[in-house]
Structure 1
Amino acid sequence: MMSSQVQFSVRNLIESMESGSAPAYQAALYELAEVAKAEGVEGLTAAVTALAPLLPGLGGEFAMTAVLAGACVEWGGSPMPLVDILPSRTAEAMMLNAAVPELWEAATGGRPLPEPESASTQELVRELTRRPWWRRSADSARHEALTRIAMAWFDMEDWIKALNTVMVDYQFRIAVPERVKVELGERAAVVADRSQRAVWVAMLAAVLDDEPIVVIDPCAHRGYALTMSGIGSNGQLHILLADRLIGDREHGRVVNTPPVQRWVEAATSGDPYLGASAPAKTSFELLDGCGRVISPDGVPADIGALDGVRVLVLQSVKQEYTMNVGRMFERMTPTLNFVRVLQQVETERWIARLPPGIANDS
C-alpha cells in the first residue's frame, strides 16, 4: 500500500502539472524524490507504481516525470511497474523525434533546426504550422498531433534516459516483449546520429538473457556449453570467456594465458574503466559458426546461429585488440555460466558443421 506521504507528494505533482507552473512542477518533483528516498525501497517502489500510469500522456518538460521514475529505480525501487509503459512510450518519442526534420524542412524551406535546448515547443509548433496546407486543414486533433511531435524534439532524451536506467535490470529486460525490443532497436537506429543514448537503447534492447552458447576449440577438438545474460558488448564477452574457459588442459580447459583479474573485475562488478595505460587484451579471435569474425566492438546478438544455436569458434589471435573499458553498462550485472565440457562425440558433430577453413586453425 502506498504511504500517505508518497500519495500526498504524487498528488502535488499531478496538481502542479495541471496548473502548468514550471516552478511548482520542479518543486513537486524534488519533494516526491526526497519523500520516496526517505521511505526506502517501499517508498521508491510506491512512487514508481504511482508515476507509471501518468507517463503515456506526458510530454515536453513533464517528461522529467519519467526521469524521476527511473531515478527511483536506480535508488532501489522496483522497475516492474514500468514494463508495459516506458519502453513503448520511449519508442514513440523516438519515432516522433525522427519525423521533425522532414516536417521542419517542408515548413521552413531548409532553415536550420533549433537545438533541443534553444527553443520552446510552442515556437516549434508555430513554425511547423506556418505552411498554408496546415492552416487550411487545421483542427484541434491535428494541432495536438503536431504538438506531440514537436515535444519529442525536446523531450526524447528524457524518455531514453529513463529507459536506459531500467533496462539494465534483468527482470525488467526479460519481461519486455521481443516485438517491443525490436521496435526499440529500429526506432533508435533512426535517431542514433543525434543521440548517443539512443545507441545505448539499441544495445540494451539487443542484450541476450538466459542464452545458451556453444564454444568450440577446433585445435584441441574440445567444446563447451555455457549460458549468458546481461553482457553488453563482445569485448566484455571476450574477457568473461577467457576467465571461464582458460585453465588446465587435463581438466578439459583451453590452454592460454588467463586474463588479468583486474580485467575480469572490470567486466563484472568492479570499476569498468581500465584506461589506456592498462587495457584488457583479447585472448583469442572469435568466429561464429558460419566463419564470420565476431568483432569485440559488436554485441553478442551479432553472433549468428548455427542449427538454432549461437556458436563461437576459438581461433588464435592474429591481431591484438585492446579494450579500455571492461563493460559498457556499469549497473548491468553480467553472467556467463560454465555448464559443462561437451562429450567428444558432440564436439565432433559441431566441428563437422563448421566451414572447412576454420576447423583447422593454426
Structure 2
Amino acid sequence: MTFLQVCDGLVRAALVEDQSFSDLLPQVMRASETASATDKDAAMPRMAEGIAEAPPNLGGWLAVIAGAWIEHGADPVPVGRAVVERLTEVTASALAFGSAWEEATGGKPPDMQEEQPSQTIFDTIAPKLADGAVSAMMSWFALPQFAMAACTVLSTAPSVRAGLTDRDFRAFAAGQAAKYHHQMEHVQRLLQVLDDERLLVLDRAGRRGWTITIGGIGDNFQLHTLLAGALAGRPGGLPGTPPAPEIIACFLDADAPPGPPVISSPWDLVDARGEPVYNEGVPADIPAVNGTRVLVLDPPSYQRTFPAGRRFPLMPATLKVDGMHLPEDLTGWWPHIAPR
C-alpha cells in the first residue's frame, strides 16, 4: 500500500472506532520515517478529517502524528484549524471532567498521562455528568495529545493563529486547563501571540518615537531584545550598543547556542499608564491608547539579565521599524502618557 492509503486506513479506523486502529497506528508511524514531505502534505487533509471527527482518544493520536510531520517540514495549514478547534472542544470537556471529579471526591483528578480510562473513573464522574461522562473522560485523557499538536500548529502557522475567532475565550479556557496539564499554559501563550501588530514605541527622555510592526513574538524578553537590536546604536535610533547579530538571530529564528549566552536589557519598559511591562508577559498585555498599543522606554532602574533564546523555538519572529517620529510629531500623544 502507498503511504496515502495507509494513512487513509488509519483515519477510517479512527472514525468508526475499529480495533485495527491499534495495529495501523505503529504502521503509519514507521512509514512516516521515510515518507517525503510531499506525501505527508498530501495526507494532511485526510488527517484533518480524522482529527475533527474521530473520538478524542483516537483523534488525539492523529493530531500527534500530524504535529510530528509538521516538525519535519510538512505544511501545518491543512490540519491547523482542525487541531485548534478540536482542542477547544476537548478542553471544555476536560474541564468538566476535572470539576466533576473534584466535586465527587474532593481530591485531585487522575493523572492524564500516567493513568487510563476505566470503569471506576467513569462511575466516579457519571452522577455529575450523566450522558456527557464518556466524552469527558475520553477528553481528559486526550488533552495532552491535542495540547502537544496545538503547540506545534500555533508555533508554525501564523495564518492559523490569525484566522482564529474568540482567541481571548480560547486562551482563557487554556489557562483554566493549565492547572491540570502544564502544556496548556503554552497553548494559552500561543493564542495570545500578535501578528502584523503595530506598536508605538516612545523614548521618554528624547521625546521621539517609532512605529514598529511585530509578529510571532512569544514573550516580552523577546520583544525587549528585538527592540534593542532595532533601535540601540542604529541611525535614527537610541544611544547604546545593540546585541550581537548572533544574539538577535536567537530571538528571530535561530537556535540558541549551548550555554546559552546571557544578555542584559537596556531599558525599563512601561505602558502608557506608567505600569511596568514585565518581560515575563506577552506583547498582548500592553494596553492600547486610541487603538494603538504604546510602549515607553525609560532608563533601566536596575540591571536585568536573561538567557538568549525564544520561548517557542518553532515560532519565527519579526520586528520591523516602519518609521521614526520626531518630538513635534508626538505632541498629541504625550498627554495620554503617565509620568514615570
Counterpart of 1:73 in 2: which secondary structure?
Answer: helix
Deviates most, 153-162 or 190-199: 190-199
In the alignment, the residues of structure 2 paired with residue 19 and residue 148 of structure 1 have an alpha-carbon distance, to the nearest angstrom, of 14
C-alpha distance in structure 2 between counterparts of 1:296 and 1:88, whole Å: 30
Q: Measured at CA, do residues 329 and 119 of structure 1 come closer, stay the same or move farther in structure 2, by a change above 3 Å?
A: closer
Which amino acid in the other structure matches residue 302 of structure 2?
Answer: Q
The aligned amino acid for 1:334 is: A
Amino acid corresponding to residue 220 of structure 2 in structure 1: N
* Structure 1 CA distance for aligned equivalents of residues 307 and 87 of structure 2: 30
Give, in whole Å, the separation in 1 of the partners of 2:288 and 2:18. Answer: 52
Determine the structure 1 residue equivalent to 2:160: 173
- Superposition deviation, residue 11 in structure 1: 3.2
Distance 1:125 1:224, change over 3 A: same
Gaps spanning 5+ residues in structure 2: where? none
Deviation at 1:161, TM superposition (A): 0.5
* 2:328 paired with 1:341: no
CA gap of 1:19–1:328, structure 2 versus 1, over 3 A, is closer
Larger radius of gyration: 1
Task: Indicate if the aligned counterparts of 2:112 and 2:140 stay in contact, CA closer than 8 A.
Answer: yes
State the SS of the aligned residue for 1:247: coil
Aligned with 1:340: secondary structure?
strand
SS where residue 84 of structure 1 aligns? helix
TM-score for the superposition, normalised by structure 2? 0.90
Return the offset for 1:231: 0.4
Aligned equivalent of 1:314: 297
Partner of 1:272: 256
Specify which of 9, 13, 33 is matched with residue 12 of structure 1. 9
Instruction: Return the offset for 1:270.
Output: 2.4
Q: Given the superposition, is the C-alpha separation of residues 217 and 332 from structure 1 closer, same or farther in structure 2, using an over 3 Å criterion?
A: same
| TM-score, L = length of structure 1 | 0.85
Select 1:153's aligned residue among 123, 137, 140.
140
TM superposition shift of 1:36: 4.9
Question: Which residue is 1:323 aligned to?
Answer: 306
Report what 1:46 is aligned to.
42
Which deviates the most, 264-273 or 210-219? Answer: 264-273
Question: Between the two proteins, what is the percent identity of the paired residues?
Answer: 26
Pairwise CA distance, 1:54 = 1.3
Q: Aligned letter for 1:247?
A: G
Distance 1:114 1:127 in 2: 11
- Counterpart in 1 of 2:151? 164
**What is the letter of the counterpart of residue 50 of structure 2?**
L
User: Aligned pair 1:241/2:227, yes or no?
Assistant: yes
In structure 1, how many angstroms separate the alpha carbons of the residues matched to 2:159 and 2:92? 22
- What aligned pairs does 1:141-220 form with structure 2 within 5 A after superposition? 142=131, 145-179=132-166, 181-220=167-206
Quick check: 1:31 aligned with 2:15?
Answer: no
Q: Distance in 2 between matches of 1:31 and 1:258?
A: 51
Residue matched to 2:239: 255
Aligned partner (choices 113, 121, 133) of residue 109 of structure 2: 113
Which amino acid in structure 2 is aligned with residue 282 of structure 1?
Answer: S
CA distance in 2, matches of 1:112, 1:53: 34
Aligned pair in 2 of structure 1 residues 348, 19: CA closer, same or farther (>3 Å)? closer
Q: Given residue 237 of structure 1, which amino acid in structure 2 is its aligned partner?
A: L
Question: SS of the counterpart of 2:183?
Answer: helix
Counterpart in the other structure of 2:218: 232
* 1:326–1:150 CA distance, 2 compared to 1 (3 A): same
Do the aligned partners of residues 170 and 19 (structure 1) sit closer, same or farther apart at CA in structure 2, a change above 3 Å counting? closer
Letter in 1 for 2:254: G
